[in-house]
Chains A and B, each alone.
Chain A
Amino acid sequence: MLENLQLGFETAVSPDNLLWCFIGVLLGTVIGMLPGLGSATGVAILLPVTLGMEPVTALIMLAGIYYGSQYGASISSILISTPGDSSSVVLTLDGYQMARKGRAGAALAISAMSSFFAAIISLIGLIALAAPVAAFALRFGPPENLAIILLGLATIVSFAGENMLRGIIMAAVGLLISMIGVASGFATARFTFGSINLLSGLGFIAVLIGLFAIGEVLHQIHRGGEKPIKAGFKDLIVTKSELRRSFMPAARGTGLGFALGVLPGAGATLASFMSYGVEKSFSKFRKEIGQGAPEGVAAPEASNNAAANASFIPTLSLGIPGSGTTAILLGAFIIFGVQPGPLLFEQQPALVWGLLVSFFIGNLFLIVLNLPLAPVFAQILRLPYSYLYPIILFISLIGAFAIGNNTFALWVVLVAGVLGYFMKRFDFPAAPLVLGLVLGPLLEKYLVQTSSLGQGSWSIMFSSPIASVFTTGAILALIGPPVAGIIRRMRNSKKSGRTDKTRV
């Protein structure tokens, strides 16, 4: 472990990597802060810019954008009650209320410190767990790999909550998009309708740029832009009482965020909602939560950062993305010729440990940037969206072209953009679609191999304990929530029936 960390340190502190790590977290902070961008959009748009870099440098920068945006997103939530990213939506409750009470600076400071605390703790967890999980996964054969992909898809769908059906639809649409072109393991062209451009499938990045960048721009126009900053702030000094009250919620948020982040698909947004809900239910100061309590800032902020880091565990060690943005990062790995998964730690130790160590350095940059410079960053929020979004469209389209030097990709971006806009408008979750898109080719590969091994019999999915556990887990994750919902409804209707009879 120490040798690996040393190797990672040597890689991460090279001047090039340090510089791009800094640029990544700086851009991430700005991107996270700007409503209508967010980490997924930022990584998708800027991925083409990194094409000329060394893989490790590019991945350090792209990952920096991801976790940097977690910090930046909270600034806009606190100051203008408008989240830069979905994981910071919950900060519009207590963060903005603190700002209205003249404690904007303190809210920003609590948010930055909680983020930093959670990031460091979760990174220790990430470093401790990722390599052993990868080593364990080396024992996996096609049935185990197939079962774990099914589990990943089932988990993300089940965590879509009330939107579970929409989650299923979106994951399946993602899988369907990934099937366009020549089928892996077969020679059959599917859904190409005679088009040569479709034979090699739809460009992954083009679809993502369309979904996130174009779709988000159209959605923002529909929403009608953001209100200007109303809350001013004078200093970033946190009182002793605020600091004391923030510590335990941040610790609880970190634990909960890490646990949820490890699960494929649960993600930072759910983690932030959960940890806020936990504080609101169990905190000593629960009556103040919702009216500008430090607990309402510290817990969700720590939670979303911990989840963002933890989502790298399944991404790096199993090759199964833990969130929408890590799915895009997984696409970036593949573009650079690196296959995340169990073999990554053996075959690319400098890259993977360099990346992990860069997370520590990046978070140090972020706390230094965010504590004293938050007021400076806040000025960026005054940038009118009317000028910003045409530039986003420009960079998105030229970036999509640059990936494959093919104008067909631009039409893919346009169509995916319209799909992304309607998904946003009608509340269809994007993360399951991205996961389906990324996991589709792998799913089919392992499906064909498993089918071949089992000679057409599906009992092979229960042939080993590992495959049995994952397959059962996938089935339970998929059918568990609806069955539990039916039972709950039946109980509720029985209860209301009893109450009615007593009223007679």
Chain B
Amino acid sequence: MVSKTTQPERKKPATSDVVGTAILGAVGAFALIMGFGYGFLEEDGQVGPGFLPVITGAFILAASLTEIARMYLAHGERSTSSFMGLAETVEEEAKAAVGRTGEPDEEEVDTFGRTSSERNWAIVKVFALLFVALLLIPVIGLLLSLTAMVLAIVLWVERKPLLPGVLTTIGALAVAYSIFVLALGVPVPQGILGLI
């Protein structure tokens, strides 16, 4: 009787990882198609403006599809005999050691006191604030919109006390104004209000 070979269990890839790689593959396919539209080769056989987009797009598409296949088929086996294998083993050990301070984790709450889902919300909030700040530039100007963004992050996202929050915001504004406006003379947009 032949004994079963002990293969490492296949890990199911994260859906978001697969979707992200698939999006990149779609970008590659898009570049490939657009590249042919720009002209792959000239009449005399020399490269045309679409040559590089086609080749690059093909590389992205092929590598993305192979990567997706690898995610589903890889057994998680790792060879440490190769040159890169040595570095990869150390990398894994080091990554596992990062942040491991030898104290038991009480919960999944981080040092800001946030849970995993609260952290995800914090990212969404910060991104939304960045987006709104950029939309506000034509109205209140670059410096004021970014100042408002800093204040909103410190008070709303990070829930810091009012006084340190305001002081941080004023400090950030003062530093940016001194360097970029006073020292470098950058003409920052002042918006419709025209304040600073």
Residues of A with Cβ closer than 8 Å to B?
A: 48-49, 51-52, 80-83, 89-90, 92-93, 96, 100, 159, 161-162, 165-166, 168-169, 172-173, 175-176, 179, 183, 186, 188, 190-191, 214, 217-218, 221-228, 230, 270, 273-274, 276-278, 280-281, 290, 385-387, 389-391, 393-395, 397-399, 401-402, 405, 407, 410-411, 414, 417-418, 421-422, 426, 443-444, 447-448, 451-452, 455-457, 481, 484-485, 488, 492, 496, 500-501, 503-504
Contacts and interface: CB of A to CB of B under 8 A. Distances in A.
A496 B189 CA distance: 68
Dominant SS among interface residues on chain A: helix
A273 to B, nearest CB: 4
B84 A398 contact: no
B86 A277 contact: yes
A276 B97 CA distance: 14
Contact of A165 (B20, B38, B70, B149): B70
B188 A401 contact: yes
A455 B43 CA distance: 11
Contacts of A456: 41-42, 44-46
A190 B49 contact: yes
A398 B142 contact: yes
Contacts of B53: 176, 179, 190-191
Interface in B46-99: 46-53, 56-57, 59-60, 63-64, 66-67, 70, 77-79, 81-84, 86-91, 93-95, 97-99
* Interface footprint category on B: 35 or more
A391 B168 contact: yes
A373 B133 CA distance: 39
A224 B119 contact: yes
Contacts of A451: 46-47
Nearest to A414: B130
Contacts of B87: 161, 270, 273-274, 277
Contact of B137 (A48, A407, A426, A496): A407
B154 A386 contact: yes
A80 to B, nearest CB: 7
Nearest to A188: B49
A387 B154 contact: yes
B98 A393 contact: no
Given A161-B91, A492-B79, 14 more contacts: A48-B184, A93-B97, A100-B102, A162-B88, A166-B67, A176-B56, A188-B50, A217-B126, A222-B123, A224-B114, A273-B87, A394-B146, A395-B176, A443-B52
B47 A230 contact: no
Nearest to B151: A390
20 contacts: A48-B184, A224-B116, A226-B111, A230-B101, A274-B90, A386-B154, A387-B158, A387-B168, A390-B172, A391-B171, A393-B126, A397-B133, A401-B188, A448-B46, A455-B44, A485-B79, A485-B82, A488-B79, A504-B2, A504-B3
A387 B163 CA distance: 12
Contacts of B78: 162
A342 B100 CA distance: 46
